[in-house]
A and B are shown apart, each in its own frame.
Chain A
Amino acid sequence: DIQMTQSPSSLSAVVGDRVTITCRASQDISNHLAWFQQKPGKAPKSLIYAASSLQSGVPSRISGSGSGAEFSLTITSLQPEDFATYYCQQYYSYPITFGQGTRLEIK
């Protein structure tokens, strides 16, 4: 199985900050990497597919980058609605696997 490791596990920031979350795969996954956002008590929301393509309706302050085994999710100018838990996921090979999550909290 491909292991997905996110860092940090949690971080604190204030509205207006720029934050970056990193996701590392245990092997090359090309660009088959997705990012999801989840708020407490809610279903995940799809943000990014193919490492850098935004899902419909996702604001442009959210971006993804990377290829191979190292990826990042960047949010510029944090908004109150961005405070949530973020998960990366590889869909390069089965079984599909998720990172452990990064909790983004208000400082």
Chain B
Amino acid sequence: QVQLQESGPGPVKPSGTLSLTCAVSGGSISVGNWWMWVRQPPGKGLEWIGEMYPSGSTHYNPSLRSRVNISLDKPKNQFSLRLSSVTAADTAIYYCAKKPSGIYSIDSWGQGSLVTVSS
């Protein structure tokens, strides 16, 4: 069973860049899965941020596309999220997740990482 674990540097200042890493264990990041980020503002619903396939193909939420980048680090078996020009509206719990290719949906989630944007 694949396990996912988010990590990040902690609070981010407004206009700064949010960076998170998701370490993958129990499976290879190079296998045919979409590696995804989802966020949830405190007390609110879930928002899909984007995803990346091992081939390099990516899909991003149009509402965030100009500020977001997802990348895979195959040697380290992890993937990352960078979100630039953050504001208080980007304060959320950020989850990494895995979605097998095909008709399948997300089948594994990280435990989540709360990122607060504050001066």
Contact = CB atoms under 8 A, between A and B. Distances in A.
The answer on A and B forming one complex is: yes
B109 A44 contact: yes
Interface string A37-52: 0000011111001100
Interface string A55-73: 1100000000000000000
Contact of A98 (B46, B63, B99, B111): B46
A89 B105 contact: yes
B48 A55 contact: no
Interface in A1-59: 1, 31-32, 34, 36, 42-46, 49-50, 55-56
A102 to B, nearest CB: 11
B62 A44 contact: no
A32 B99 CA distance: 13
Nearest to A30: B103
Given A95-B62, A98-B46, A45 B109 contact: yes
Contact of A46 (B46, B59, B106, B111): B106
Contacts of B106: 34, 36, 44, 46, 89
Provide the main secondary structure of the chain A interface.
Answer: loop
Given A43-B112, A95-B61, A87 B46 contact: yes
A43 B95 contact: yes
Contacts of A56: 107
Given A34-B106, A49-B103, A95-B61, 4 more contacts: A44-B95, A46-B109, A89-B48, A95-B62
Interface of B: 38, 45-48, 51, 59-63, 95, 99, 103-112
